[in-house]
Structure 1
Amino acid sequence: MTATAAPLDILLLPTWLVPVEPAGVVLKEHALGIRDGRIAFIGPRAAALKLQATEVRELPGMLLSPGLINAHGHAAMSLFRGLADDLPLMTWLEKHIWPAEAKWVDEAFVRDGTDLAIAEQLKGGISCFSDMYFYPKVASDCVHNSGMRAQIAIPILDFPIPGAGSADEAIRQGIELFGDLKHHPRIKITFGPHAPYTVCDANLEKIRVIAEELDAAIHMHVHETAFEVQQAVEKTGERPLARLGRLGLLGPRFQAVHMTQISEDDLVLLVESNTSVIHCPESNLKLASGFCPVERLWQAGVNVALGTDGAASNNDLDLLGETRTAAMLAKAVAGSATALDAHRALRMATLNGARAMGLENEIGSLEVGKAADIVAFDLSGLAQQPIYDPVSQLIYATGRDSVKHLWVAGKQLLDDRQLTRMDEQQLTATAIAWGRRISGQHE
Structure 2
Amino acid sequence: MSSTEPIRTYFEGLDFVATVDAADRLLRAATVVVVADRIVAVGDRAQVRATLPPRPGDVVRDGSRLGMVPGFIDTHVHLSETLSRAAFPDNLNTRAWVFHWAKPFYAHVSDADESVSVSLGAAELLRSGTTCFLDMGAQNDPGITARAAAATGIRGITGRHAADRKPDQIPAGWSPEMIDHHFFPDARTALDVLGQAVRDWNGYAEGRIRCWVNIEGKEPCSLELHVGARQLAEELGVGTTYHLASSRQEAEVSQRHHGMWPISRIHQHGGLGANLVLAHAVAVRDHEVGLLARTGTSVAFCPSSSIKLAKGAAAIGKYPEMLDAGVTVGLGTDGVAAAGNLNLMRQIHLMAGLFKDARVDENLGGARRALRMATIDGARALGWDDEIGSIEAGKKADFVLFALDHHEWVPFHDPVQALVWSSSPASIAETWVDGRAVFATGRVAAIDEVALRAEARERAATIVSRAGLRAADVPVTTSLYD
The two structures have a TM-score, normalised by structure 2, of 0.86
1:274 aligns with 2:280: no
CA contact (8 A) 2:20 2:390 kept: yes
Give the secondary structure class of the aligned counterpart of 2:40: strand
The CA distance in 2 between the partners of 1:129 and 1:354, in whole Å, is 10
Structure 2 matches for 1:4-403, cutoff 5 A?
8-13=7-12, 14-49=14-49, 50-52=53-55, 54-86=58-90, 87-102=92-107, 104-133=108-137, 134-135=139-140, 136-158=142-164, 159=166, 161=179, 163-164=181-182, 166=184, 168=188, 170-184=190-204, 185-291=207-313, 292-403=317-428
Q: Deviation of residue 7 (structure 1)? A: 5.9
Give the secondary structure class of the aligned counterpart of 1:386: coil
Q: Deviation of residue 294 (structure 1)? A: 2.2
CA contact (8 A) 1:16 1:62 kept: yes
1:318/1:183 CA distance change after superposition, 3 Å: closer
CA contact (8 A) 1:8 1:33 kept: no
CA contact (8 A) 1:191 1:218 kept: yes
Greater Cα shift, 362-371 or 237-246: 237-246
Find 1:414's aligned residue among 436, 439, 444.
Answer: 439
Identity of aligned residues (%): 29
Which blocks of at least 5 consecutive residues in structure 2 are unaligned?
167-177, 469-482
The CA distance in 2 between the partners of 1:126 and 1:200, in whole Å, is 33
Q: Deviation of residue 182 (structure 1)? A: 3.5
The CA distance in 2 between the partners of 1:224 and 1:403, in whole Å, is 32
CA contact (8 A) 1:23 1:343 kept: no
Greater Cα shift, 426-435 or 363-372: 426-435
The CA distance in 2 between the partners of 1:420 and 1:176, in whole Å, is 32
CA contact (8 A) 2:143 2:201 kept: no
The CA distance in 2 between the partners of 1:175 and 1:212, in whole Å, is 11
Task: State the number of aligned residues.
Answer: 437
Which blocks of at least 5 consecutive residues in structure 1 are unaligned?
none
1:188/1:285 CA distance change after superposition, 3 Å: same
The CA distance in 1 between the partners of 2:47 and 2:148, in whole Å, is 40
1:48/1:209 CA distance change after superposition, 3 Å: closer
1:183/1:24 CA distance change after superposition, 3 Å: closer
Moved over 4 A (4+): 5-8, 159-165, 167-170
The CA distance in 1 between the partners of 2:357 and 2:23, in whole Å, is 24
1:439/1:269 CA distance change after superposition, 3 Å: closer
Name the residue aligned to 2:171.
none
Q: Deviation of residue 203 (structure 1)? A: 2.3
1:264/1:439 CA distance change after superposition, 3 Å: closer
The CA distance in 1 between the partners of 2:240 and 2:425, in whole Å, is 30
Q: Deviation of residue 202 (structure 1)? A: 2.6
2:25 is aligned with what amino acid?
Answer: V
The two structures have a TM-score, normalised by structure 1, of 0.93
CA contact (8 A) 2:408 2:427 kept: no
Q: Deviation of residue 8 (structure 1)? A: 4.5
Q: Deviation of residue 6 (structure 1)? A: 5.5
Greater Cα shift, 129-138 or 361-370: 129-138
CA contact (8 A) 1:11 1:56 kept: yes
